[in-house]
């Protein structure tokens, strides 16, 4: 059965049929009369907490939440060099992976390739399978937005020099190997941790994945 994660700042809302196995404490929320907008407004920006909606039909619950929000589509990549290192960017004072919004009439996979090449000044050699989808909620003006991001596994020829797209707020782009991820893990988003787990850069936890 499909389960979901919705990220809100540093907090995560799990929607599942079973309680996920994880070390971090998780607060269960009553499914009956659940109002996502009210729940979202009650979470402060500095909250670092996990929440759980247990439902026999997680897909239907997620769809109900999705339909109540403004959907924005984005796409990005986990890029591996020929030396076995991975491409990370530093944007808005956090480590991140290259990604961006999908343009009108553009396919998700094409958008992912375009965004990576634009944000890092590289030429992608292969744009392989989709790794996962992540969902992130934030506010634009008076709208509550659900950003759906498709992530793809990519490679480059050799290990090219990176040119960070500064107009997009990217101050640094780096090739890092698995042993150099500590600074990233201590200063990144929960959604990026999920992508790294699926991409096998991290030991995948026992927690459910979207």
How far apart CA 73 and CA 146 sit, in angstroms, is 9
Instruction: Return the H-helix or E-strand segment holding 89.
Output: strand 86-91
pLDDT for 81: 97
25 pLDDT tier (thresholds 50, 70, 90): confident
Whose tokens are 């491409």? That residue is: 87
Residues 78 and 55 in one domain: no
* CATH code for position 133: 3.90.79.10
Residues 138 and 167 in one domain: yes
Residues 82 and 179 in one domain: yes
Q: What total number of domains does the chain contain? A: 2
Whose tokens are 């984005």? That residue is: 74
Alpha-carbon separation of residue 204 from 46, 67, 95, 154, 207 (angstroms):
26, 30, 19, 20, 8
Residues 27 and 47 in one domain: yes
Residues 76 and 14 in one domain: no
Residue where a domain stops, chosen among 25, 47, 67? 67
Residues 23 and 63 in one domain: yes
Residues 113 and 178 in one domain: yes
By the 10 Å C-beta count (0-12 exposed, 13-18 middle, 19+ buried), 206 is classed as: exposed
Instruction: Return the H-helix or E-strand segment holding 40.
Output: helix 36-41
Tokens of residue 164, six digits: 């960070």
Instruction: Return the H-helix or E-strand segment holding 59.
Output: helix 58-67
Q: What number is the average pLDDT over the span 10-37?
A: 88
Q: Which residue has the higher pLDDT, 188 or 25?
A: 188
Cα 118 → chain centroid: 19
Query: What predicted TM-score, i.e. pTM, was given to this entire model?
Result: 0.90
Residue 108 DSSP one-character state? H
**Mean model confidence pLDDT for the chain:** 91
Backbone phi and psi for residue 86, each to the nearest 5 degrees, phi listed first: -120, 145
Q: Find the domain containing 136 and state its range.
A: 71-198
Residues 88 and 14 in one domain: no
Largest CA distance in the chain: 54
Query: Is the residue at 135 inside a domain?
Result: yes
How far apart CA 170 and CA 163 sit, in angstroms, is 10
Residues 37 and 104 in one domain: no
Residue where a domain stops, chosen among 14, 44, 67? 67
pLDDT for 29: 92
Residues 99 and 186 in one domain: yes
Query: Is the residue at 209 inside a domain?
Result: no
pLDDT for 1: 67
């Amino acid at each position: 059965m499909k389960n979901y994660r919705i990220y809100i700042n540093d907090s995560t809302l799990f929607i599942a049929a079973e309680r996920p196995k994880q070390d971090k404490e998780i607060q269960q929320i009553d499914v009956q009369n659940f109002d996502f907008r009210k729940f979202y407004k009650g979470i402060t920006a500095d909250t670092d907490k996990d929440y759980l909606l247990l439902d026999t039909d997680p897909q239907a619950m997620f769809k109900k939440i999705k339909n109540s929000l403004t959907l924005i589509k984005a796409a990005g990549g986990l890029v591996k060099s020929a030396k076995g290192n991975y491409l990370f960017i530093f944007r808005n004072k956090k480590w991140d992976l290259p990604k961006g919004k999908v343009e009108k009439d553009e396919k998700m996979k094409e958008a992912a390739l375009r965004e990576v090449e634009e944000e890092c000044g590289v030429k992608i050699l292969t744009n392989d399978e989709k790794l996962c989808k992540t969902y992130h909620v934030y506010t634009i003006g008076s709208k509550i937005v659900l950003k759906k991001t498709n992530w793809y596994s990519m490679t480059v020829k050799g290990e090219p020099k990176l040119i960070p797209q500064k107009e997009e707020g990217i101050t640094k782009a780096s090739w890092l190997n698995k042993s150099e991820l500590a600074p990233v893990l201590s200063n990144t988003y929960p959604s990026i941790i999920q992508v790294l787990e699926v991409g096998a850069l991290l030991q995948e936890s026992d927690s459910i994945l979207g």
